[in-house]
Amino acid sequence: MFFVPSIVISLLTFPGIIVHEIAHQLFCRWYKVPVFKVVYFQAKNPLGYVIHERAQSRLQTVMISIGPFFLNTFLGALIALPAAMPVFEFNNASPLDYFLIYLGVSIAMHAFPSRGDAGHVLAIAQSKETPLWLRVLSYPIVGLIYLCSFGKMFWLDLFYGIGVAVGIPKLLITLMS
Amino acid sequence: MSDVQPYAADAQHDQLTSDVSSPSLCVSCKAKPALEGYPTALCADCREHFIRFPIPLYIRLFGAAVLLIVLIACFFLPRQLRMGAHLARGKRAEAEHRYLTAYKEYKLAEKDLPHNLELQAHLFIASVYAGYYDESGKYGKLISNRQVEDNELADKTNTAIQVFGYSVVTDQYKNLKDQYQGQIPDTALARAHAQYPEDYAVAYQYAGNLYAENKYAQSAQVLNEVIQKAPLDQDAIVLASAVAVERKMPDSAVYYCDELLNINRENIYALSSKARNLLRLGHINEAAEPAESCFKLDDSSAYSMGTMALLYHFQNNDAKAKPLIQKLEQDHNPEDTSRVNYVVGVINGTQSL
């Protein structure tokens, strides 16, 4: 497999990182958690981050950590959806369609929570004060995040982005047909 | 990649609180009392301010641009989904050799996707196997001299072009027609058929003439030669089935109907004829499936309505047969009169099936 530095990929797909951080921030706002600093994108690690107060409930902490997964996936699919047909089915795509696919894939591929996010969910899972159901729910989430993080070495995030941009439209069409 | 640090705020909080004389004061404005029960000592106003942490203008503009794109995407979405659904249904029907449905679905997709080469190729294929030769001619012209990128589709299109060729009047046949002013004698057709055995237009016309002259065995022989060389020639198979009926060989007619149905599972003639021949063989239960399928596909043609009426009659269900017969007698086209009379005759017992 050819080697492309991850920073190059990140620079190319920066809209996804911005949306990822906005998702953290919006989930904080939703749960009324004060935010002290937001870096939406920078050309060094971490590429973006949000500093906020500890959430009132453990479930809120989990949701703030995994929020980008939902927002990035939803937005990525929604943006790519109308362009997926012309690009992948009809071969009559316009430049706008290609741009929508780029944007959709960029946003969807940054849906995975980071290992930092996983650390917060793990802390929740390990805490004895956390209700049993949330602990049971948290461990698989942590496992999945680490798995996805490991998978990034094999372009899993890119494949996920393409899967969202191509797979969801195909699924919708199949369900409608 | 991106990171959220919920607990880093505590460090900041500690630094801030060390500067203030009273720990109960807000660590941000250092003027108002902090609200209790939160990890960070913030007054109500500062807490509200940080909850609504300002989003910079450039990020707002970025969000607005994304939102605009989402709106544009949403505007095109219903059309794309509708088109995709028709195309998917068409492709599925095509894969299952249900070419009437495939053609119908592709036509609906074409409304939203005109001038698309691949769709036109699919429309050409579906129209050829559905027997809509006028449409095949139209789409054949549209796709000629253009390269279909999908190899599988290109192969299917080439096969369909070959099949369409069976129904096209050849120069040889045209010359014969001109030479004999439209009334080509059998001898001339026989000579031409012997000289140009690959000319299916000549062979088909020759077999047709023999059929019209009640020379069924000879007609069947010519048609068998054609079908062996061109197994997808639907016109030849239809005629072979009709010849078998006249030769009182319903099992052979059923065989040819099945051959037609292998090409196009929605061949109205094949479904209807198969049902009638199964009735002739006394297989009333087996006849129900093709008769009903045919009626479902086309409940307005005299042929399929007549077949359904015959099925009901042989099922001793005259309550259902009668309204169909009445409708047939009242609404049929003049060219269907003999078909209607035949069905009425069979049901009245004045004619054999």
Return the SS3 of A48: strand
ipTM: 0.81
Q: Tell me the CA distances in angstroms from B78 to A105, B72, B119, B340, one per residue in order.
A: 21, 11, 19, 46
Q: Closest Cα of chain A to B69: distance in Å?
A: 7
pLDDT for B312:
96
Q: Is the pLDDT of residue B41 over 80?
A: yes
pLDDT of B271 strictly over 70: yes
Whether residues A36 and B9 touch (CB distance < 8 A) is answered with yes
Cβ pair A49:B38 closer than 8 A: no
CA distance B172 to A127: 90
Long-range contacts of B337-342 (CB under 8 A, 24+ apart): B339/B302, B339/B303, B339/B306, B340/B302, B340/B306, B342/B306
Task: Give the per-residue pLDDT at B9.
Answer: 32
Task: Check if B181 contacts A (Cβ < 8 Å).
Answer: no
Higher pLDDT, B52 or B177: B52
In this prediction, residue A152 carries a pLDDT of: 82
Q: How many residues does chain B have?
A: 353
Q: Is the pTM of this model over 0.90?
A: no
Cβ of A89 within 8 Å of Cβ of B84? The answer is yes
Report d(CA B139, CA B121) in Å as an integer: 7
What pLDDT, on a 0 to 100 scale, did the predictor assign at position B145?
86
A53 interaction partners in chain B (CB closer than 8 Å)? 6, 9, 38-40, 50
Using the beta-carbon criterion (under 8 Å), do A86 and B88 form an inter-chain contact? no
Residue B4 has pLDDT above 80, yes or no: no
Chain B residue numbers touching A86 (CB-CB < 8 A): 80
Chain B: closest CA distance from residue A132 (Å): 22
Answer yes or no: is pLDDT of B180 > 50: yes
| Nearest alpha-carbon partner for A74 in A40, A117, A111, A100 | A111
Asked whether the beta carbons of B311 and B276 are under 8 A apart, the reply is no
**Of B155, B97, B168, B84, the residue nearest B126 (C-alpha):** B97
Q: Where are the alpha helices (DSSP H) in chain B?
A: 8-19, 44-51, 57-95, 99-112, 117-130, 133-143, 151-167, 171-179, 186-195, 200-212, 216-229, 234-246, 250-263, 268-280, 284-297, 302-314, 318-331, 337-348
User: Does the pLDDT at position B171 exceed 90?
Assistant: no
Question: Which chain A residues are closer than 8 Å to B55 by Cβ?
Answer: 22, 25, 38
Closest chain B C-alpha to A122 CA, distance in angstroms: 13
Select the residue from B2, B69, B147 to test the A interface by mutation, using most A Cβ atoms within 10 A: B2
Q: Does the pLDDT value for residue B17 go beyond 70?
A: no
Q: How confident is the model at residue A7 (pLDDT cuts 50, 70, 90)?
A: confident
Length of chain A, in residues: 177
Check residue B336 and give its pLDDT. 86
Q: Can you tell me the distance from the alpha carbon of B260 to that of B279, in angstroms, rounded to the nearest whole number?
A: 18
Chain B residues close to A46, C-beta within 8 Å: 1-3
**pLDDT value for B21:** 44
- CB contact under 8 Å between B7 and A174, yes or no, is no
pLDDT of B10 above 70: no
In this prediction, residue A137 has a pLDDT band, given cuts at 50, 70 and 90, of confident
Instruction: Please give the Cα distance from A142 to A150 (Å, whole number).
Output: 12
- Residue A39, SS3? strand
How many Å lie between the alpha carbon of B70 and the closest alpha carbon of chain A?
Answer: 6
pLDDT digits (tens, 9 = 90+) for B112-130: 888 889 999 999 999 999 9
Greater model confidence, A116 or A40: A40
B145 reaches A (C-beta below 8 A): no
B156: pLDDT strictly greater than 90: yes
Query: From residue B3, how far is each of A20, A45, A116, A161, B254 by CA, in Å?
Result: 9, 9, 6, 19, 71
| Beta carbons of A104 and A80 less than 8 angstroms apart | yes
pLDDT band at A3 (very low <50, low <70, confident <90, very high): low
Confidence label for B19 from pLDDT (cuts 50, 70 and 90): very low
Q: Under an 8 A CB cutoff, do A53 and B40 touch?
A: yes
Cβ burial A1-35 (10 Å sphere, 16+ → b, else e): eeeeeeeebbeebbbbbbbbbbbbbbbbbebebbb
Q: How many CB pairs under 8 A join A and B?
A: 165
* A18 vs B contacts (CB less than 8 Å): 59, 62
- pLDDT score, position A4: 57
Q: What is the mean pLDDT of residues A56-68?
A: 91
Pick A79's closest partner by Cβ from B3, B69, B92.
B69
Whether the CB of B81 is below 8 Å from some CB of chain A: the reply is yes
**What crossing angle do the helices spanning A14-30 and A95-109 adopt, rounded to 10°?**
60
Query: Following CA atoms A25, A26, A32, A37 in sequence, which dihedral angle do they give, to the nearest 10 degrees?
Result: 20
Cis status of the peptide bond prior to A82, with omega within 30 of 0: no
SS (H, E, C) A82-137: HHHHHHHHHCCCCHHHHHHHHHHHHHHHCCCCCHHHHHHHHHHHHCCCCCHHHHHH
| CA angle B135–B141–B142, rounded 5-degree value | 90
Across chain A, what does the average pLDDT equal?
88
Answer whether residue B14 shows pLDDT above 70: no
Predicted confidence band of residue B276 (pLDDT cuts 50, 70, 90): very high
Contacts of B62 in chain A (CB under 8 A): 15, 18
pLDDT tens, B56-72? 999 999 989 988 888 88
Which one of A141-150, B116-125, B167-176 scores highest in mean pLDDT? B116-125
Tell me the average pLDDT of chain B: 89
A82/B77 Cβ within 8 A: yes
